[in-house]
Amino acid sequence: MSLVCVADYETKAKELLEKSALGYYASGAGDEFSLKLNKNIFQKYRLRPRCLVDVSSIDLTCKVLNKTFEWPLGVSPTAMQRMAHPDGEVANARAAGKLGSIFILSTIATTSVEEVAEKAPNTTKWFQLYIYKDRIITENLIRRAEKAGFEALVLTVDAPVFGARRADMRNKFELPSHLSLKNFNGLFANSLNGDSDNEISGINAYVSKQFDPTLTWKSVEWLIKFTKLPVIVKGILTKEDAILAKNYGCSGIIVSNHGARQIDTVPTALEVLPEIVKSVGHELTIMADGGFSNGTDIFKALAMGAKMVFVGRPCLWGLAVDGQNGVESILRILKQDFEKTMRLMGCRKISDISKEMVVHESFYAKL
């Protein structure tokens, strides 16, 4: 069967991935209500296209953090990508660069900051960060990302602890023994002993224990002062936290429910975008992730005020199916679908997209 959409790649990837890795990538928290909602929410919103507009030539470029990109889609941070393919994060980053997208590298990666920088030099790279209990680990990661040419820090703020992911519990998930969390190798010479296999598992356990439930907005303030890079907070779902992000000096927000992996029954990014954009959209760069799999999905988020959207799982499906070529295919499918959506909506450039072009289904029930 020809793979012509994200869903096709997802189906194929689920046939190929090892059970434990698939459970880690695909699962959500709790009963997975929000995981399903992330996919289904887009069906609740209707497009209102404008006709008889000359769309023979269109411009998909957008500006984020004072830099122009080919189109408004980037690659979200996802952990341990070499479980999907031996080339892992490098393949994903190279594909993102080839399609003109931002690539966000996860702290919990199976490829190091330095290797991704070396092997994907033409890709715009941001670094996803946790502030750990051991602040020295965090400081070390920041300085390495700065030195390696990463252009922003994406601070995940919705993970004081990991969510209850039942698939991981059932599968007793562990990182495969031939892989390790490469951004932490060499940091534990004085705290871990034994052979390399024990060190690998020890690093995994140590990092998990480093998630810090005591973090506050003062921690964000510290980070902004510590780094020379712009700081984007990821995981915001309320206007109250968006306002705090602005007040504490963040450069941007990624509206996200963490792929519905943290706490169940939270809303989707699409649902909360309007209140966040209304509160701080004129002062901060607002972006979003969670469930995007079609060009129409991207369009809806932009109409609601997002400047860029990000996809995580779709690129993992592409990676599992065909490495870098698979990710390139996923991104190309999304880019072509978004371009077609722009034409059919009567939009020649991103600034032509307006909030009036997308309405909730209840809009028509009231007529």
Q: What is the pLDDT of residues 77-128, one digit of tens each?
A: 999 999 999 999 999 999 999 999 999 999 999 999 999 999 999 999 999 9
Q: What is the pLDDT of residues 311-362, one digit of tens each?
A: 999 999 999 999 999 999 999 999 999 999 999 999 999 999 999 999 999 9
pLDDT at 364 over 70: yes
CA distance 80 to 97: 20
Pick the CATH number of 6-179+215-365 from 3.30.2130.10, 3.30.1330.60, 3.20.20.70, 1.10.10.10: 3.20.20.70
pLDDT at 176 over 70: yes
Nearest to 18 by CA among 206, 201, 177, 227: 177
Task: Give the active site residue among 85, 178, 258, 360.
Answer: 258
Helix axes 239-247, 269-280, angle to 10 degrees: 40
Least confident of 6-10, 130-134, 184-188, 191-195: 191-195
- Mean of the per-residue pLDDT values for the chain? 93
- What confidence score (pLDDT) does residue 195 get? 40
- The tokens describing 260, both together, are 């519905």
pLDDT at 201 over 80: no
pLDDT at 208 over 80: no
Domain boundaries defined on the chain: 6-179+215-365
DSSP code per residue over 161-223 = S----HHHHHHT----TT---TTTTTS-TTT--S-HHHHHHHHHHHHHHTB-TT--HHHHHHH
258 catalytically annotated? yes
CA distance 108 to 128: 9
pLDDT at 243 over 70: yes
